[in-house]
Amino acid sequence: MRMNIHTFMYILTMHSTRFHTPNALHIMKKGSVNMKRNKLVSILSLVLVLALVTTGCASGSKGESGAKNNEFRMNLASEPPSLDPAQATDQVSFTIINAIYEGLTIIDENGDVQPGIAEKWAVSEDGKTYTFTIRSDAKWNNGDAVTAHDFEFSWKRALDPMLVPEPSQYAYQLYYIEGAEAYNTGSGSVDDVKVKATDDHTLVVTLNAPTVYFESLLSTAVYFPVHQSVTENEAFAAAADTMVTNGPFTMTEWKRNTAITLEPSETYYGRDNIKFAKVSFTMVNDSNSELNMYETGKLDYAGYPTGSLPTDQYESLKQKYTEEFQIKGTASLYYYLINTTEAPFTNQKIRQALSLSVNRADITDKVTLGGQLPAYGLVPPGIKGVEDEYRAEVSDDYFKEDLELAKTLLAEGLAEEGLTELPAFSVTFNTNELHQKVAEAIVDMWRNNLGVNAQIGNEEWGVFLDNRTAMNYQVARAGWGADYNDPISFIGLFTSKSGNNNTGYANADYDALVEQVNQTTDAAERMKLMAEAEKMLIDTHSIIPLYYYSTVYLMKPDVKGVYVDYKGDIIFTRGYYEAE
Amino acid sequence: MVRYVIKKILFMLLSLFVLASATFFLMKAIPGNPFQSEKNIPPAIQQMLYERYGFDQPVWKQYLNYMGNLLQLDLGTSMKQQYVTVETVIKNGFGYSLQLGVLAILVSIVVGVLLGLVAALNHRKFLDGFTIFIAVLGVSIPNFVVASALQYIFGVQLRWFNVTGLYEPLDYVLPVIALSFLPTAFIARLTRSSMLEVLSADYIKTARSKGLSGRVILVKHALRNAILPVVTYVGPMTANIITGSVIVEQIFGIGGLGKDFVSSITNRDYTLIMGLTLFYAVILMIARLITDIAYGFVDPRIKLTRGKGGS
């Protein structure tokens, strides 16, 4: 160590033989001042030269479009925790799974069901039995044929209550199948689950009741097939080379926390429709960095649902990238839950007063800035109704914002509860900049419009979820996205048995309506019942709908065929670069 | 000397044990669980998961299980990233973090000492004031501001560097600067004040009057004494760089351990939290140990062992 310091300092001082010190000044020669200045000059020039050299080196490889290599580049904000279709629960995992696997059906750009691995199917008279014909040219990426047996195996696997490492969190989506719930909750046998492969290409499924959106469900991950060899290797989904997949793309590389690369599967039956040569994902968890990557030509797509863009730059991005900046409505609802089991919020008028005094347009225009739409109902736009969207057929004009009415209602409600003023209460949300801004704005509105005092409090995600489930809150933020394209995906939330109710709302009439909806086959009748249920819920003001979500993203103008669907999922498998 | 090191290592192990226990119990005390999500899981399934991972057992039993595994150097499997062992996570991420960290430490020491020297040798002149100014900037600006500014100016505007990733050697420049900004400033200040003190000491005057050349005095006598505070700082500096790397890695999209460290807590990924905490603790303790040993070499006045002479 001694030698190193010496040698190092020797090299450093090689050009200077004299130096200053305060006390030694009179001993040293004055010539050393010039020596110091020269040294400074030479250092600066060295830096300048280095800079110029690196500029020269750098400018060659920057700003290339993905079109050059026919490569579509996106960013995932985080590492997918699981790429097992039965285990995945988050958007990041679904983005990859939706590209490397395919189910019986797929959803097209218009939200309509199209054949996937099943080339056709027939439904019985009573609407309960489906017979699927598996296409004969469907193959796994190792060359094996995809058979009906694979589907029977995979669905039963997803329902397995002892599945490793965790039983599927989405197993409940399979409960429409007769015998499924019993098996999954441990009270029935796997042999009683009514899904059967009668031969290699025929799959017969019997449901508990006619379910109009069943075909749409078949395109979701929990219904995807997995290769039967997974029984030999439970960690099959943890690395690219052990995954056997049947979708349009194959994973060729998975560098944990760094990158994922997909390439078209040569055995896919629709190989000719796949135009990209490569789809690659980086994993950068910072919205500013993601934007910087897009601007320097490292990404062809930036923003939701896989990544994010800085919200405070939406306005300037809109101006700068008019063609590339997109806002698409997403079928998700942002709302506040009210704990209806605790006074004073047991009183409907008080709740109504709170809901009526929020200016939702101000929230979406000035706070969230993402082109979201004010919400007055439970079911967002994009969800199918009978012919058109549900929201187009059933207007969400259940109530209007009205300050005067709100004040009156508040006074009446307080009087009914024997209070002179509303005691201060808390609004909680999980730690997040956006949720904080929204809460601050709303609490401000309540103070100015109604004269009520509320404090906001952020809680860490896990703590927040715990408190909300345990009804340990007064007003709490919530969000819900569509699992499948039917209003019942939202309406079903507020039955008294629902594990995601969280408000304490329990109404036997509501439950009865939902039960009826699940038994009815007539589309128009179902919609009517669901509209009734929605009105029933909103009229009690147990929730305060705030806005319908939107997906904000940037995409290079020469990318075509890539879109965000009603759920907010990105579909890129049929994308391509438009030739110039 | 050897006895000293052994004593230190034993003490390290004791500290690690205390740390592991404290972290374990704190972790169990936080509300929430690894299986939480917005869509509530049916209670029956949650119960089954608890049993499978042993969470239904009393906490002290879980503690003994964990400690038993730890003694066999088995850190377990991540609860969130399926089938990925904690050891794999650390191996994957540490490579990046280590490269950045070591480079940052080297740059901090070299540039910091240089700056401090230049300032001390030009006391009360322009260079001195300039160095102080840089030093104050370095200590006051948070490193995520530095990182974002560097990324924007040199990555987006000037296009001199890639904005994210660690694929080419040039990619290291911006993250290392961001990481070493504060330590460099701190070391510059330290070196400067310590050098000023040393240079005005009597023995320097003696050396000069003996006719020794400036270079010899500087290197052989002054620097060795002035460098002591810098050596002391290496311990806290390593800690600073490790924690600073969390945000710098995030901004530059580098797959190091920083991201896992933070997200494991949000995910309640118990095994990963424990593994990473212990890993960082070991790193910090080793840094301290190296510092202590370095003392003995740099300043013979400091005897590491009690009693007469070394061992």
DSSP of B236-293 = HHHHHHHHHHHHHHHHTT--SHHHHHHHHHHTT-HHHHHHHHHHHHHHHHHHHHHHHH
pLDDT category, A446, cuts 50, 70, 90? very high
Angle of helix B86-121 relative to helix B257-266, nearest 10 degrees? Answer: 120
Q: What angle do CA A163, A168, A172 make, to 5 degrees?
A: 125
- What does chain A come to in residues? 580
Query: Between residues A266 and A112, which one has the greater pLDDT?
Result: A266
Q: Please write the tens of the pLDDT for every residue from A59-99.
A: 433 456 788 899 999 999 888 988 999 999 888 899 999 99
CB A29 within 8 A of CB A18: yes
Question: Measuring CA to CA, how many Å separate A273 from each of A71, A107, A116, A471?
Answer: 15, 16, 13, 50
pLDDT(A251) > 60: yes
User: Which chain A residues are Cβ-neighbours of B225 within 8 angstroms?
Assistant: none
User: Which chain B residues are Cβ-neighbours of A84 within 8 angstroms?
Assistant: 82
The average pLDDT across A245-258 equals 94
Nearest to A23 among B200, B263, B268 (CB): B200
Q: Please write the tens of the pLDDT for every residue from B148-197.
A: 999 999 999 999 999 999 889 999 999 999 999 999 999 999 999 999 98
- DSSP β-bridge partners for residue A334: A479, A547
Q: Which of A244, A277, A242, A283 is nearest to A260 (CA)?
A: A283
Q: How far is A478 from chain B (nearest CA, A)?
A: 9
pLDDT(A55) > 60: no
* Alpha-carbon dihedral sign for residues B158, B162, B168, B171: positive
pLDDT category, B40, cuts 50, 70, 90? low
Distance CA A41, CA B227 (A): 27
CB contact under 8 A, A462 and B123: no
pLDDT(B57) > 50: yes
pLDDT category, B78, cuts 50, 70, 90? confident
Q: Which DSSP letter does residue A384 get?
A: B
Distance CA A62, CA A161 (A): 51
pLDDT category, A23, cuts 50, 70, 90? very low
- Which of A9, A173, A281, A473 is the best residue to mutate to test the B interface, defined by the most B CB atoms within 10 Å of its own CB? A9
Encode burial over A21-43: b for 16+ CB neighbours within 10 A, e otherwise. beebeeeeeeebeeebeeeeeee
Q: Please write the tens of the pLDDT for every residue from A456-514.
A: 999 988 888 889 988 999 999 999 998 888 999 999 999 988 878 888 899 999 999 99
pLDDT category, B43, cuts 50, 70, 90? confident
Q: Residue B257 corresponds to which tokens in the numbers above?
A: 């351990």
Query: Between residues A44 and A337, which one has the greater pLDDT?
Result: A337
CB A212 within 8 A of CB A521: yes
Sole residue written with tokens 């007064």 = A474
Chain-centre distance for alpha carbon B200: 34
Tell me the pairing of strands A454-459 and A563-564: unpaired
Encode burial over B46-61: b for 16+ CB neighbours within 10 A, e otherwise. bebbeeebebeeeeee
**pLDDT at residue A3 in the model:** 43
The average pLDDT across B255-265 equals 84
Nearest to A19 among B42, B92, B214 (CB): B214
User: Which chain A residues are Cβ-neighbours of B251 within 8 angstroms?
Assistant: 286, 288-289
Tell me the pairing of strands A249-255 and A259-264: antiparallel
User: Which chain B residues are Cβ-neighbours of A233 within 8 angstroms?
Assistant: none
**pLDDT at residue A43 in the model:** 65
* Percent of chain B scoring above 90 in pLDDT: 30
CB A310 within 8 A of CB A332: no
| C-beta pairs of B137-141 under 8 Å, 24+ apart in sequence | B137/B185, B138/B181, B138/B182, B138/B184, B138/B185, B138/B186, B138/B188, B139/B182, B139/B185, B139/B186, B139/B189, B141/B181
Chain B's closest residue to A185, CA to CA, is B44
pLDDT(B116) > 60: yes
Q: Please write the tens of the pLDDT for every residue from A118-139.
A: 999 999 998 999 999 999 999 9
Any idea of the CA torsion for B164, B169, B174, B177, to the nearest 10 degrees? 150
Chain B's closest residue to A12, CA to CA, is B114
CB contact under 8 A, A18 and B252: no
**Average model confidence (pLDDT) across chain A:** 88
The average pLDDT across B137-147 equals 91
**pLDDT at residue B246 in the model:** 87
CB contact under 8 A, A63 and B159: yes
CB contact under 8 A, B83 and A10: no
The average pLDDT across A42-52 equals 57
Query: pTM to 2 decimals?
Result: 0.83
**pLDDT at residue A427 in the model:** 96
Least confident of A26-30, A405-409, A433-437, B201-205: A26-30
Distance CA A166, CA B232 (A): 49
pLDDT category, A349, cuts 50, 70, 90? very high
Residue type, B7: K
**pLDDT at residue A279 in the model:** 97
CB A416 within 8 A of CB A432: no
Complete DSSP assignment for A24-69: TTTTS-TTHHHHHHHHHHHHHHHHHHHHHHHHHHHGGGSS--GGGG
**Secondary structure of residue A538 in the 3-state scheme:** helix
* Percent of chain A scoring above 90 in pLDDT: 67
**pLDDT at residue B171 in the model:** 93
pLDDT category, A49, cuts 50, 70, 90? low
**Secondary structure of residue B154 in the 3-state scheme:** helix
Q: Residue B153 corresponds to which tokens in the numbers above?
A: 């100016």
pLDDT category, A521, cuts 50, 70, 90? confident
Q: What H or E segment, with its residue span, contains residue A196?
A: strand A195-199
The average pLDDT across B14-38 equals 84
The average pLDDT across A280-309 equals 93
Instruction: Looking at mean pLDDT, say which of A262-266, A505-509, B37-41 comes out highest.
Output: A262-266
Is the Cβ of A284 closer than 8 Å to some Cβ of chain B? yes
CB A529 within 8 A of CB A385: no
Q: Which of A401, A409, A346, A404 is nearest to A376 (CA)?
A: A401
Q: Residue A267 corresponds to which tokens in the numbers above?
A: 């055995």
* Percent of chain B scoring above 70 in pLDDT: 95
**pLDDT at residue B34 in the model:** 76
pLDDT category, A17, cuts 50, 70, 90? very low
Tell which A residues from 496 to 525 touch B, by Cβ distance under 8 Å: 499-500
pLDDT category, B294, cuts 50, 70, 90? confident
CB contact under 8 A, A55 and B158: yes
End-to-end CA distance of chain B: 5
Nearest to B255 among A57, A257, A479 (CB): A257
The average pLDDT across A331-341 equals 94
Complete DSSP assignment for A201-245: TEEEEEBSS--TTHHHHTTSGGG----GGGGG-TTGGGSGGG---
pLDDT category, A50, cuts 50, 70, 90? low
Encode burial over A116-148: b for 16+ CB neighbours within 10 A, e otherwise. bbbbebeeeeeebbbebbbbeebbbbeeebbbb
Least confident of A42-51, A266-275, A425-434: A42-51
- What does chain B come to in residues? 311
Distance CA A543, CA A352 (A): 9
CB contact under 8 A, A500 and B164: no
pLDDT(B281) > 60: yes
Tell me the pairing of strands A425-430 and A559-560: unpaired
**pLDDT at residue B37 in the model:** 66
pLDDT category, B71, cuts 50, 70, 90? confident
CB A339 within 8 A of CB A470: no
The average pLDDT across A529-538 equals 95
Distance CA A406, CA A174 (A): 44
**pLDDT at residue A24 in the model:** 39
pLDDT(A407) > 80: yes
Is the Cβ of A285 closer than 8 Å to some Cβ of chain B? yes
**pLDDT at residue A48 in the model:** 55
pLDDT category, B35, cuts 50, 70, 90? confident
User: Which chain A residues are Cβ-neighbours of B93 within 8 angstroms?
Assistant: 257
Q: Please write the tens of the pLDDT for every residue from A160-202.
A: 988 888 888 888 899 999 999 999 988 899 999 999 999 999 9
Q: Please write the tens of the pLDDT for every residue from B224-256.
A: 888 888 888 888 888 888 878 888 999 999 988
Q: Alpha helix (H) ranges present in A389-469? A: 390-393, 403-417, 433-450, 461-469
Cβ contacts of A134 within 8 Å, gap of 6 or more: A117, A118, A119, A146, A147, A148, A151, A200, A201, A202, A203
